[in-house]
Amino acid sequence: MKERKKIPYVTKTLLLKEINCECPFCGSMEVECFEVHHIDSNPLNNDIANLLYQCGNCHIKIEKGFITLEQAVRRKQDLKGKSWKIIFGAVTADLHSGWKAFDENEYAFYNDTNQTTNPILNFSLINHLSRTVILKTIRVRYKPLFSGISGPPPEPRVLYPLSRYHISLTNEVNVLHLQNPILVPAQEGFMFQVELSQGPGNGLARPFRGRKALYFTFEFSEGIIINAPTVYFNCKSEDEGIKLVMLD
């Protein structure tokens, strides 16, 4: 029988955090049945780089060779620096909406057309969980910014939107419970669109004008909440100075 060295509790906690409380092979979340595997088969080597946490069944598969050493090493490498959760990817303006991003801030948009159009934003996120989740709610906190008198703005695998949702900014906090929620498969990126308007109705109530800061929150099943970076319209930040223009 090989001599063993007790694995510190702190090390086990770090290993559990590394796999986000999910077996990295089968996705089991029964952490009370998880076991530590020594990748080099040396029970005295408790270096965290040599340890892998998985469920008891998958541990047996490793010991019996059903999960190879190469697979175990590769899975440990995949875990390094990986965020096992849903992460925000990007927000861009739909090409046909007439809105463009400022060069200085990719999350700040302006309308470069002579027509007043509602902005349509593409949100891209990635589900790093090993299970499917459902996007259920989109929440937007709305903050109008002082506009003043401003001159013209400065010159400034593919994901396709799965669905478009319309949100009319009528309150400080606007909540849209999705009638057609998005089913997000495990380990997949996804994109959806949010069309914004001001006032009640179908988006034609009032032109979408003025400086604005919007704070998007996306709520998924299992209580998962993701916050997007602040999105600005007709300005680059909340602290952007007002530029006065003298007209002849």
Q: Are strands 164-169 and 189-198 parallel, antiparallel or unpaired?
A: parallel
* pLDDT score of 13: 86
* pLDDT score of 141: 85
Distance CA 212, CA 144 (A): 5
Domain assignments of the chain as residue spans, ordered by start: 9-79, 86-233
Sequence letter at residue 197:
S
* pLDDT score of 47: 92
Superfamily classification of domain 86-233: Immunoglobulins (2.60.40.10)
* pLDDT score of 153: 41
Distance CA 134, CA 224 (A): 10
* pLDDT score of 93: 92
Joined together, the tokens standing for residue 52 give: 């892998």
Distance CA 54, CA 63 (A): 12
Q: Which residues of the chain have pLDDT under 70?
A: 1-2, 81-84, 114-116, 146-157, 200-207, 241-248
* pLDDT score of 131: 78
Q: How many residues does the chain have?
A: 248
DSSP for 14-48, written as a single string: HHHHHTTTS-TTT----GGGEEEEETTS-TT---G
* pLDDT score of 156: 35
